[in-house]
């Protein structure tokens, strides 16, 4: 497991626009099997999110480097639910900018809490049978 993490860290360190890297999913919880893929969450510098083609290249590079299928989540534009899952259950591997990490952390917590409040109101209306009327 360590060498997989070290390879991801070395790869991310070579990209100045990558600010934060998390390993999440089964590899982070060490509940893997022979077919387990590698879930990697990346945060990029503001206004430096790569094109789809570049993200596919990063995914291909990591797949080749690790010898395992890699799935990438871009934290900059991921939903609050995904970001919270990464924070809760993921393993932070790389952090180029502590302030950017703190901003990401606070933003995720705030947006997730807002979402929970909105969902709670909707769920109460559904329970009362009043969601549409």
User: pLDDT (tens digit, 9 = 90+) per residue, 60-118?
Assistant: 999 999 999 999 999 999 999 999 999 999 999 999 999 999 999 999 999 999 888 87
Cα–Cα distance measured from residue 117 to residue 115, given in angstroms and rounded to the nearest whole number: 5
- Domain ranges in the chain are 4-128
Cα–Cα distance measured from residue 119 to residue 26, given in angstroms and rounded to the nearest whole number: 28
Paired with 70 in beta bridges are 38
Return the closest-CA partner of residue 90 out of 130, 43, 33. 43
Asked if 54 and 73 touch (Cβ cutoff 8 Å), the reply is: no
Per-residue pLDDT tens over the stretch 37-62: 999 999 999 878 889 999 999 999 99
| 47 phi, psi to nearest 5 deg | 65, 15
- Yes or no: is domain 4-128 CATH 3.40.190.80? no
Query: In the chain, how long is the greatest CA-to-CA distance?
Result: 57
Cα–Cα distance measured from residue 99 to residue 111, given in angstroms and rounded to the nearest whole number: 18
Cα–Cα distance measured from residue 27 to residue 1, given in angstroms and rounded to the nearest whole number: 8
């Amino acid at each position: 497991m360590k060498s997989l993490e070290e390879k991801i860290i070395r790869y991310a360190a070579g990209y100045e626009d990558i600010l934060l890297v998390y390993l999440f999913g089964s590899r982070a919880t060490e509940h893997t099997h022979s077919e387990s893929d590698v879930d990697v969450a990346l945060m990029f510098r503001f206004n430096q999110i790569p094109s789809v083609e570049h993200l596919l290249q990063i995914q291909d590079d990591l797949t080749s480097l690790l010898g395992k299928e890699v799935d990438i989540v871009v934290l900059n534009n991921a939903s609050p639910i995904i970001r919270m899952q990464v924070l809760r259950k993921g393993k932070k591997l790389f952090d180029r900018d502590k302030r950017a990490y703190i901003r990401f952390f606070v933003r995720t917590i705030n947006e997730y809490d807002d979402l929970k409040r909105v969902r709670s109101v909707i769920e109460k209306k559904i329970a009362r049978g009043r969601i549409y009327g």
